[in-house]
């Protein structure tokens, strides 16, 4: 493994400043050979990325380069691709894979761990922020089980795009620095039907203050390894929740861990409210895919609710039970938090404060959801006496005809409520609103009547606020995006990137940097799903291999 010079040849400055606290504070795996195995009484195993043949930069986040305090990737593109494909290490990088377990689809799965993710290290950015750099698809680790630890371009592009899009949408999320092709082919059975094929390989460099998951705590409690559990919890609180520690040398007690869990519950509620706001469906909310920081993590078979359907799941593995469907996400988040509470119970010793925090999650989500829906409708606050029925009426209308959620709220902002229009309980359908319907010809009869009456109720509610339409429109457009990472657009970008043409990916990333600002010339990035994409693989549902 070649070590890359610490001084950048372009700027003459240090590239990164590493401080690998996780490795210092957690016990490591004493076995240094890289083979699949059960790893006990260790938080991590040191492992090197597998070198690839011909790394090439497809796309990168210039914002993340700035956060890390490194030159933009275009200034050192060849060397950048070598580093963030895992072929070379910067001084201070100490690659490792984390040990964790998890509940998958409601069942305890035992040891899981970083099976195709390798952490390069923790770097301190120019503002003092701690960032963990993690390569996904960089080869096998002791936790790979029967897999090869590699990743294909289609899944890597989707993760890269969505990580950065979610950030710009204002959704708590892990980030992505780069998308690098490996110049190699990877065998994948996309449909799990016994017909694997070779696909272009790729590696995403993911970035977050921490990649610690609920499952990191579960694995040690399940094994009765309470010493490592305590060391992990202490590291997590001191590194990521330092405000809970009043004195640096104070031993953390049950009260600190109680308050920490309460903050995890509140952050998770905030995250899920944002998911519901923009129509994001995670698709695989296993406890090993839940961030301790309340960040969206592990973009696998995720999807976007295009025609509003609370029962929709993007995950083919979940098609039967729909455990992880759009409408179920709040309930599953609570279930996952319960598993975390069970895992940290030895640190707290009392169920009552943990139960109170779980109840706090439910209350925080409910109030957050109400406020969020009010803001999507341009209301100054949620008014229980009127808005519960108004919101329920809208969701009931959505069930009558296929409606693009993103476009509906954007076009609803254009609805004029200031002008009188005869019957106060009825309102004409705005000219632009049919753009949100997949079958505008169906807006007749009872469906049309339902919409007209709802618009009348909505107009009366808006008028009661006294907020002028122009102000309401601006407020709505700040919380209702016009551009989201639509499933079919991701597939189009993948199709072109697999042919060696990354231009669409880069252009789409530019569009997603300003998701709330409608721009002339970008209409194709706002269009609802075309009919050809309704059932096409990659445009509707995906497998976990995607």
Nearest CA to 286 out of 274, 269, 268, 298 is that of 298
Alpha helices, DSSP H, located in 46-176: 62-68, 77-83, 153-169
3-state DSSP assignment of residue 379: coil
Beta-ladder partners of 57: 180
3-state DSSP assignment of residue 350: coil
Compute the distance between CA of residue 342 and CA of residue 355 in angstroms, rounded to an integer: 10
Structure tokens at 155: 């899944």
Helices (H) and strands (E) in the chain, counts: 15, 13
Structure tokens at 521: 């010339």
Stated length of the chain: 546
CB contact set of 63 (below 8 Å; sequence gap of 6+): 164, 167, 513
Nearest CA to 347 out of 429, 202, 452, 230 is that of 230
Neighbours of 9 (CB within 10 A): 10
With tokens 């600190």, the residue in question is 256
CB 60 within 8 A of CB 178: yes
Structure tokens at 326: 């759009």
3-state DSSP assignment of residue 442: helix
Structure tokens at 105: 């689809």
Query: With left for phi above 0 and alpha for psi between -120 and 50, is residue 514 left, alpha or beta?
Result: beta
CB 118 within 8 A of CB 141: yes
Residue 288 is among the residues annotated as catalytic for this protein: yes
Compute the distance between CA of residue 394 and CA of residue 386 in angstroms, rounded to an integer: 13
Neighbours of 195 (CB within 10 A): 8
Nearest CA to 244 out of 257, 232, 231, 228 is that of 257
Compute the distance between CA of residue 511 and CA of residue 518 in angstroms, rounded to an integer: 9
Expressed in percent and rounded to 5, the helix, strand and coil fractions of the chain are 45, 15, 40
> Residues 8, 29, 262, 288: which is the catalytic one?
288
3-state DSSP assignment of residue 278: helix
Structure tokens at 292: 């301790």
CB 136 within 8 A of CB 155: no
User: In 380-447, which ranges are E strands?
Assistant: none
Catalytic residues: 288
């Amino acid at each position: 493994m070649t070590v890359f010079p610490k001084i950048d040849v372009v700027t003459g400055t240090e590239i990164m400043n590493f401080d690998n606290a996780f490795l210092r504070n957690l016990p490591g795996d004493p076995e240094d050979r890289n083979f699949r195995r059960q790893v006990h009484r260790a938080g991590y195993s040191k492992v090197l990325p597998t070198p690839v043949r011909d790394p090439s930069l497809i796309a990168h986040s210039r914002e993340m380069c700035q956060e890390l305090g490194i030159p933009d990737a275009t200034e050192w593109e060849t060397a950048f691709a070598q580093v963030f494909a895992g072929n070379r290490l910067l001084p201070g990088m100490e690659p490792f894979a984390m040990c964790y377990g998890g509940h998958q689809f409601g069942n305890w799965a035992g040891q899981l761990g970083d099976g195709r993710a390798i952490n390069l290290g923790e770097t301190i950015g120019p503002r003092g922020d701690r960032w963990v750099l993690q390569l996904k698809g960089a080869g096998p680790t002791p936790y790979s089980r029967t897999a090869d630890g590699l990743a294909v371009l289609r899944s890597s592009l989707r993760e890269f795009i969505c990580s950065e899009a979610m950030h710009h949408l204002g959704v708590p999320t892990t980030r992505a620095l780069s998308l690098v092709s490996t110049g190699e082919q990877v065998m994948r059975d996309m449909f799990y039907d016994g017909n694997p094929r070779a696909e272009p390989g790729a590696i995403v460099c993911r970035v977050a203050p921490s990649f610690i998951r609920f499952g990191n705590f579960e694995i040690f409690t399940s094994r009765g390894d309470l010493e490592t559990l305590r060391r992990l919890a202490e590291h997590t609180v001191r590194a990521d929740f330092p405000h809970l520690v009043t004195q640096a040398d104070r031993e953390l007690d049950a009260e600190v861990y109680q308050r920490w869990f309460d903050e995890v519950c509140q952050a998770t509620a905030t995250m899920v409210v944002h998911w519901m706001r923009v129509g994001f469906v995670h698709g695989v909310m296993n406890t090993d895919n839940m961030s301790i920081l309340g960040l969206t993590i592990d973009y696998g078979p995720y999807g976007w609710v295009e025609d509003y359907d609370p029962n929709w799941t993007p995950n083919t593995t979940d098609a039967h039970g729909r455990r992880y469907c759009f409408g179920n996400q709040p309930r599953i988040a609570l279930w996952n938090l319960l598993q975390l509470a069970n895992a940290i119970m030895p640190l707290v010793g009392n169920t009552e404060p943990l139960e109170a925090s779980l109840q706090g999650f439910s209350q925080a989500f409910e109030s957050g959801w109400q406020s969020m829906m009010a803001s999507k409708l341009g209301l100054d606050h949620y008014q229980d006496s009127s808005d519960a029925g108004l919101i329920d009426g809208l969701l009931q209308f959505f069930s009558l005809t296929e409606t693009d959620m993103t476009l509906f709220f954007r076009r609803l902002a254009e609805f004029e409520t200031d002008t009188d229009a005869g019957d106060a309980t009825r309102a004409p359908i705005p000219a632009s609103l049919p753009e949100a319907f997949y079958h505008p010809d169906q807006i007749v009869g009872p469906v049309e009547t339902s919409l007209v009456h709802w618009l009348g109720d909505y107009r009366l509610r808006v008028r009661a606020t006294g907020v002028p339409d122009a102000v309401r429109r601006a407020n709505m457009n700040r919380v209702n995006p016009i551009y989201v990472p639509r499933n079919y657009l991701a597939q189009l970008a993948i199709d072109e990137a697999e042919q060696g043409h990354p231009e669409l990916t880069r252009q789409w990333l530019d569009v997603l940097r300003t998701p709330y600002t409608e721009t002339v010339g970008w209409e194709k990035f706002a269009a609802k799903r075309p009919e050809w994409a309704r059932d096409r693989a990659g445009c509707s549902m995906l497998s976990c291999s995607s």
